[in-house]
Structure 1
Amino acid sequence: MKWAADNCQPQYLLKTDDDCFISTRFLTEFLSEHNSIKTGLYAGSVFNEREVIRNRLSKWYVSTQDFPRSVYPRYASGTGYIVSGDVLQGIVGAASQEKAFPVEDAYTGVLASKIGASLVDTGRFTMYSNKWRVCNYLYFLVIHGVTPEQQYLALKYTDDALEKCPGQSPSTTW
C-alpha cells in the first residue's frame, strides 16, 4: 500500500488474494462510470465485530501484545477490497502510528477505522466460487476461491453474460 501510495497515487486501489477472479471489465467500468463514492471509499465483503483469535495454533493468531482488544472493528475481508486514493493515503499514514499484526485485512480495518473511513458492505465481492449462473457474472466484481483452471471459465462467463442474459446489464450499484 505504501508503495502504491508513493509511486502510483491511484484514484482507487484493489487488494485481492491470488485465488480470486477479478472482473476487470466490469470493475473498471463500474468505478469510472457508476461509482458515486469517489473519496472516503473502503468497500468489500464486511466482517462485523469478529473476535481476535488467541489460539497460538491458528494461522490467524494475534497476541494481546500485538492487539489488546478482544474484537476487531468492522473490516473488509482480505478476499478483496477497494479503497479510494485518499483512504489509501490515510491508511499508509496511520500505519506509522499503529503496531502491525499479522492479519492483514483486520489490520487494514483497524487503520481504516482509525482514520474514520466508512465501510461499504457489498455482495459484489463474494467469498465463494459456487457454480454461479452466467448472469451472476454481471454482478460480481471479485470471486474468491477460483482455481487457475476456473479463471478462464470465469472470464468466459463474464463475456457470455453480456449476450446470454437478455434484458440484463451489469450492475451499477455497490
Structure 2
Amino acid sequence: MRVRIKSDLLCTLILGTALCTLLYSLLRPSIKQDITQTKQLKESKVLVSNGKVKGYLERKKNLGKSKLQPDDYEVNRDPKTTVSSITTPSLFDYQQYLRSKDHRNFSLVINQPNKCRKFPPDPFLLIAIKSTVEEFDRRESVRKTWGREGLISGVRVQRVFLLGTPKNKTAVSVWESLMRQESHYFKDILLWDFIDTFFNLTLKEIHFLSWAEEFCGNVQFIFKGDADVFVNVENIINFLQNQTPSEDLFVGDIIHQARPIRSKKSKYYIPETMYGLGMYPSYAGGGGFLMSVATMKKLSQACKEVELFPIDDVFLGMCLQRINLKPTLHEGFKTFGITKPSAAPHMETFDPCFYRDLMVVHSLKPAEIWLMWNLLHAQQLPCSQKKKIKKPFQWKKSKKIVKLASANLSLERLTVTKY
C-alpha cells in the first residue's frame, strides 16, 4: 500500500514538472516579445521627446536593410525651424537649410508705413536695429539714449526695430499681443513671421532692405546695427553731411580676406558643400554700418539675385560684390569692442574719452549704453580740452631707482631724478 502511494506521488510530480515545462516553452516567445515591445516603447518615447518621430518610424520600416536611407538622418522638415541633425554635431541642419533656402518671402505682421513720411522735412538718417521679441530692455535703452527720434544736430532722425517671430511657438500669441501694444505706443516695430534665429538673420536683412525701398525711399542715409551697440549719432551725422545720398556709400568695420570656418563646433561653421571657395568677399561687421539711399536700393535688388547664405554679414558682402561696390573701412566703427591704446595703458576702456571720437562700439549692456550716453552728454566731460594730457607719459616728481645690470655701477649712482 505504501509503495503504491509513493509511486502515485512520483508520477504526479513528473506530470506536474512536464506540464510546467510545456507552459513555459509556450509562454516564452510572448514574454520575449513583451520585453522587446517595452524597449521599443521606451525608445519611441525618448524619440518623441526629442522630435525624432519620423526618423524612428523610418528606421522601423527599413529594419533589416544594409543601407540606411537619407530620411533616416532627417529630424524635422519644418522650413522655418533650425534643429539638430544626426549627421552633423553642428546646431544647424544644413541639409534642411539647402532644401528650404529658396523660401524667402515672409509676411510683415507689424508695419510702420508712415515712418519716413510723417513729418517734414524728409528724414536725413534712418536707424534700423536688429532685435528680438524678448529684448525689450535693450530697445528701451536705445530709445532713451542714442536711438532717439526727432531733430538731432539740425537734421531729422527716425528709428525702427527689426524682429522675427520668437522660437517658442506656444507663446507666440502672447508675444504678438505685447508687440502690438509696444508698436502702438512707440510706432517703431517691424515684425515678420519667420522664426527669429541666428541663421535667419539673412531673412531679416533682405526683408528690411525691401521694406526700406518701399516705405523709406525718401531717406538720405541708413544706419543698421545691433541692439547691443553704442552709437555716437552726432559723429555719424557730422560725417554724413559731407557725403552725397545719391552716390554709393557703404562704411563700417570692414573685414577683408576672411576664411570660412570648417570646424563643426563653431557657431559660424560652413561646410564646403555650401561654400566651396577659400575666402569670403569683403564685408562689414554686423555691429553696425552706414549706407546711402542709393546703395540701399541697389542692395535691395541684389539680394533678390544672390542665393541666401546663413551668415548675414557675409551675405551682404556677397551682395556688395554683386553690385561691384567695395565697402569703406572707417576707424570709428569698433564692432569688436575697444582695445587699450599703448599710449594710455592707465585708462579704462569704459571711459568717455575713448567713446567721444568714435561712431559705433559693439557689445555693451543696456545699463552701460545708458551710462555712456549720459557721460558723453554731460556739460563737462572728464576728458575736456583743459584736462587733456598732451604727452602720452609723464614722470612723477620724485626720485626713482633704476636697476641696471652692470657691475661697475653702485646703488648710489643708480638714483636719478626725473622731472
Sort the TM-score into its range (normalised by shorter chain).
Answer: 0.7 to 0.9
1:156 and 2:374 equivalent? yes
C-alpha spacing 1:18/1:121, structure 2 compared with 1 (3 Å): same
Distance 2:260 2:380 in 1: 42
Which amino acid letter does the alignment assign opposite residue 329 of structure 2?
D
Tell me the SS of whatever aligns to 2:327: strand
1:147 and 2:365 equivalent? yes
Which amino acid letter does the alignment assign opposite residue 57 of structure 1?
K
**TM-score normalized by structure 1?**
0.83
Tell me the SS of whatever aligns to 2:285: strand
Q: Which has the larger radius of gyration?
A: 2
Q: Which runs of 5+ in 1 are unaligned?
A: 168-174
1:11 and 2:229 equivalent? no
Question: Percent identity over the alignment?
Answer: 23
| Aligned equivalent of 2:352 | 134
Deviates more, 1:114-123 or 1:51-60: 51-60
Which amino acid letter does the alignment assign opposite residue 367 of structure 2?
E
Aligned match for 1:2, one of 210, 214, 217: 210
Once the two structures are TM-superposed, the CA of residue 5 in structure 1 deviates from its matched residue by 1.9
| Aligned equivalent of 2:409 | none
**Aligned-residue RMSD, C-alpha:** 2.2
Once the two structures are TM-superposed, the CA of residue 42 in structure 1 deviates from its matched residue by 0.7
Distance 1:85 1:162 in 2: 36
1:36 and 2:273 equivalent? no
C-alpha spacing 1:45/1:22, structure 2 compared with 1 (3 Å): same
Partners of 1:62 and 1:103 within 8 A in 2: no
Once the two structures are TM-superposed, the CA of residue 148 in structure 1 deviates from its matched residue by 0.6
Partners of 1:128 and 1:144 within 8 A in 2: yes
Once the two structures are TM-superposed, the CA of residue 12 in structure 1 deviates from its matched residue by 1.5
| Aligned equivalent of 2:128 | none
Distance 1:88 1:95 in 2: 10
Q: Which runs of 5+ in 2 are unaligned?
A: 1-208, 340-348, 387-419
Partners of 1:21 and 1:151 within 8 A in 2: yes
Which amino acid letter does the alignment assign opposite residue 138 of structure 1?
R
Once the two structures are TM-superposed, the CA of residue 162 in structure 1 deviates from its matched residue by 7.0
C-alpha spacing 1:7/1:21, structure 2 compared with 1 (3 Å): same
| Aligned equivalent of 1:89 | 297
Listed as ranges, the matches of 1:97-136 within 5 Å are: 97-126=305-334, 127-129=336-338, 131-136=349-354
Structure number with the bigger relative contact order (C-alpha 8 A, sep ≥ 6) is: 1
Residues matched between the structures, number: 165
**TM-score normalized by structure 2?**
0.37
Tell me the SS of whatever aligns to 1:76: strand
Aligned match for 1:26, one of 235, 249, 252: 235
Partners of 2:225 and 2:288 within 8 A in 1: yes
Distance 2:361 2:380 in 1: 18
Deviates more, 1:120-129 or 1:158-167: 158-167
| Aligned equivalent of 1:48 | 256
Once the two structures are TM-superposed, the CA of residue 129 in structure 1 deviates from its matched residue by 4.7
Deviation by residue 1:7-66 (Cα, 9 ceiling, x = unmatched): 1123212111111011123323332x3x33542111101111100123333221234444
